[in-house]
Structure 1
């Protein structure tokens, strides 16, 4: 049986963190959703940055071993939002590429467009997606 599952997220950072979490060995969509339902994006990022096993294992279905694996694989790779900005972190580029591939562009096309937008530091994920789409519209 092939199933098509649709997930919705309140913010782009929640989507990015979901994608990052599902990239961890042994963490599927169910566990990633459980973590995002139990903790806010900022709290989850902070728990990973601090190595807080108790906070992560408080989510339903997440044991200490899985929490430890999440911390091991993601600690240092995510921005915990210490600067008070949006906690997009390492998933920011991935969010842009995912959005563009969902719109039908190839992974390579999406990455090339994103590379051309990199000069625009300080842009939000949404603004970077918009700028990357403009790259396609202008042909380069």
Structure 2
């Protein structure tokens, strides 16, 4: 196998690993919040028109490829936006203080600091460059 083929395989594996990591981190936070604060979570999720159960109800490794044939970069951005929505809701002044001490939510916060960034207009994108980072076709970090 030429080096370029193996490089592509390694990049694809890294990207799939990243996709599973961020989605499972978000899913774990959602499950912890559903157990600890179901009413708060229901209200926080209702603010965003997303079918959270369809998107995060199953383990990510239970499907192959991206859901609904989305491209991987836009799928990663969507997961990032959903995670930022949940974190923003938990850190609002009207949210109970104890929510922020739930370990799965703290894990989500730390993961998002490492995996995502937001631009000046609120856009979300994965950190890094290239296919393993889920960057756009132009190679820019989102």
TM-score normalised by L of structure 2: 0.30
The structure with the largest strand share of the pair is: 2
With a CA cutoff of 8 Å and minimum separation of 6, indicate the structure with the bigger relative contact order: 2
The structure with the largest helix share of the pair is: 2
